[in-house]
DNA sequence: ATTATTGTTGGTAG
DNA sequence: TCTACCAACAATAA
């Protein structure tokens, strides 16, 4: 599911459902996902609290509670959030206490007298629900968020210049460089900017960094727009997952390689390699 | 049966 | 302190 646009989408839905809501009850038995707290502690500390604010930075979501606790949510590779409106009789899954396949945690909230359940689902269990009394390092060490903060080209260029060994693609995916850029968004942005993903990060000139910044905005906005549609496309990507197909820009067949252990698709025809 | 998958994290080495 | 690399985590889908 989740890179910046998907997480922003989840944040918006969560805000719609749970902002200013009171937590009636919580349930989980998954010590892995709620670590370092024990499931019992996690649940007890949540109950009775009100959710004041729901923010996002990169791929992390932070729910601020009325007693200054914070619930940090990371969806990992396969996490997502659903809502069960307990009064909804048309939904067969909505019965109270019913649990979904791969449900890992459940938080029942009340707002204006109505209850609903916020359900965290995660088959692979790489996601996290971290309840803390202060901001956690994973949150505070994140670089600028392209959507919330915008991309400062000079700042980005400076960070890239300090990385002569890594590829531009791996550098973009470093959450300290920019928060929220993952494999797909990096692939799409570099294609848009006509930069070969294997280029050394430090070899990208000012113009190139500007093009990459615009490319990131372009792909993030596109993905977000697709998610907000009533019926999302499912594949709004032009390059990722399209190995062998003609480049949408120059018709050269797209190539797939591996970079830093991650699948990378690019166009050898119009993405320029800089070393 | 084999391979690939949208992400972090902790250890190690330099 | 910073960068770079790697294994680990887990469950599918093709």
Q: Cβ–Cβ contacts within 10 Å for residue A1, how many?
A: 16
pLDDT of residue A35: 86
Query: Which nucleotide lies closest to A58 by the C1' atom and the CA atom?
Result: B7
Pick from A59, A203, A190, A29: nearest CA to A127: A59
Give CATH for domain A153-266. Answer: 1.10.8.50
Q: What is the DSSP letter of A138?
A: H
Average pLDDT, integer, range A77-95: 70
CB-based contact A153:A213 (threshold 8 Å): yes
pTM (two decimals): 0.93
CATH 2.60.200.20 applies to domain A4-140: no
The distance (Å) linking the CA of A128 with the C1' of C8 is 16
For chain A, give every domain's residue range.
4-140, 153-266
The label of the residue with tokens 């009340």 reads A110
Instruction: Answer yes or no: is pLDDT of A140 > 70.
Output: yes
Question: Mean pLDDT score of chain A, rounded to an integer?
Answer: 90
Using DSSP's 3-state secondary structure scheme, residue A176 falls into coil
Instruction: Answer yes or no: is pLDDT of A272 > 80.
Output: yes
The distance (Å) linking the CA of A1 with the C1' of C2 is 31
Q: Is the CB of A32 under 7 A from strand C?
A: yes
Which residues of A are catalytic, by number?
2-3, 59, 262
Using DSSP's 3-state secondary structure scheme, residue A246 falls into strand
For the purposes of burial, counting CB atoms within 10 Å of the CB of A162, is it exposed (0-12), middle (13-18) or buried (19 or more)?
A: exposed
- Alpha-carbon distances of A169 from A199, A201, A209, A240, rounded to whole Å: 8, 8, 12, 13
For the purposes of burial, counting CB atoms within 10 Å of the CB of A150, is it exposed (0-12), middle (13-18) or buried (19 or more)?
A: exposed
Average pLDDT, integer, range A125-153: 92
Q: Is the CB of A35 under 7 A from strand C?
A: no
Q: How confident is the model at residue A89 (pLDDT cuts 50, 70, 90)?
A: very low
Q: Which residues pair with A74 in a beta bridge?
A: A60, A128
Q: Is the CB of A126 under 7 A from strand C?
A: yes
Q: Which residue is nearest to nucleotide C5 (CA to C1')?
A: A260
Please state, in angstroms and rounded to a whole number, the distance separating the CA atoms of residues A96 and A178. 40
pLDDT of residue A174: 92
- Per-residue pLDDT of A223-242, as tens digits, reads 999 888 877 766 889 999 89
Please state, in angstroms and rounded to a whole number, the distance separating the CA atoms of residues A189 and A239. 10
Pick from A103, A46, A106: nearest CA to A79: A103
Rg value, chain A, Cα: 20
Please state, in angstroms and rounded to a whole number, the distance separating the CA atoms of residues A152 and A67. 35
Q: Is the CB of A260 under 7 A from strand C?
A: yes
The distance (Å) linking the CA of A96 with the C1' of B4 is 37
Q: Which nucleotides of B are covered by protein (CB under 7 A)?
A: 4-9
Those residues with Cβ within 8 angstroms of residue A92's Cβ, 6 or more apart along the chain or in another chain: none
Angle, helices A206-228 vs A4-18, to 10°: value is 40
- Alpha-carbon distances of A147 from A61, A169, A194, A223, rounded to whole Å: 14, 19, 22, 12
The distance (Å) linking the CA of A124 with the C1' of B1 is 21
Phi, psi of A237 (to 5 degrees): -95, 145
């Amino acid at each position: 599911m989740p890179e910046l646009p998907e997480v922003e989408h989840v944040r918006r839905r969560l805000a719609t459902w749970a902002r200013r809501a009171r937590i009636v009850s919580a349930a989980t038995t998954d010590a892995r996902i709620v670590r370092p707290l024990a499931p019992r502690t996690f649940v007890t500390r949540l109950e009775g609290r009100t959710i004041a604010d729901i923010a996002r930075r990169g791929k992390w979501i932070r729910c601020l509670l009325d007693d200054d606790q914070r619930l940090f949510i990371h969806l990992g590779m396969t996490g997502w959030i659903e809502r069960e409106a307990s009064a909804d009789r048309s939904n067969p899954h909505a019965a109270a206490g019913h649990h979904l396949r791969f449900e890992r945690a459940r938080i029942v909230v009340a707002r204006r007298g109505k209850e609903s359940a916020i359900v965290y689902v995660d088959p692979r269990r790489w996601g996290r629900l971290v309840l803390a009394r202060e901001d956690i390092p994973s949150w505070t060490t994140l670089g600028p968020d392209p959507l919330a903060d915008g991309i400062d080209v000079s700042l980005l260029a400076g960070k890239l210049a300090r990385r002569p060994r890594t590829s531009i693609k791996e550098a973009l995916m470093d959450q300290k460089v920019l928060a929220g850029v993952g494999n797909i968004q990096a692939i799409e942005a570099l294609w848009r900017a006509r930069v070969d993903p294997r280029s050394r990060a430090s070899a990208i000139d000012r113009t190139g960094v500007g093009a990459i910044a615009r490319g990131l905005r372009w792909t993030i906005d596109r993905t977000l727009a697709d998610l907000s549609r009533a019926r999302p496309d499912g594949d709004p990507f032009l390059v990722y997952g399209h190995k062998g197909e003609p480049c949408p820009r120059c018709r050269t067949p797209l190539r797939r390689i591996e970079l830093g252990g991650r699948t990378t698709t690019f166009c050898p025809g119009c993405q320029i390699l800089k070393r």
